[in-house]
Amino acid sequence: MNSHVCKCEPFTALADKCLEQITKFIDEKLPDAETKESHGVFAFKTDAGEFVLNRQVPEKQMWLSSPVSGPSHFDYIEGRFYEKNKKIGLSELLEKEIDHILK
């Protein structure tokens, strides 16, 4: 059995659940947004530009490319994906940016 695969499976499941929750959030907040989802990557377009969120299995991170705040890398810390430099969680950052776009 490949031990590398076994070590990544729990992270992949967490990342997929995170992407699923974010997809639902975007569908609710921006029902007319053009979205794409494939193989651990979720992208959506807004008036501000395109957001791209993807899981990085080797690094065990979620990466966000945002037209509002630029690139961010989120580590899984204490039950959530958290960006150490910006001191904010992935969900909180997306909510803040989407609310800003909707104003």
pLDDT digits (tens, 9 = 90+) for 36-76: 999 999 999 999 999 999 999 999 999 999 999 999 999 99
Share of the chain above pLDDT 70, in %: 92
Rounded to whole angstroms, the Cα distance separating 2 from 28 reads 39
Return the closest-CA partner of residue 89 out of 25, 12, 13, 43.
25
Q: Encode 71-81: b = buried (16+ Cβ within 10 Å), e = exposed.
A: ebebebeeeeb
Residue carrying structure tokens 């989120």: 74
Residue carrying structure tokens 């979205």: 35
pLDDT for 78: 86
What is the DSSP-derived secondary structure letter of residue 2? Answer: -
Rounded to whole angstroms, the Cα distance separating 96 from 74 reads 16
Which numeric CATH code is attached to 3-102?
Answer: 3.30.920.10
* Residue spans per domain, the chain: 3-102
Tell whether pTM > 0.75: yes
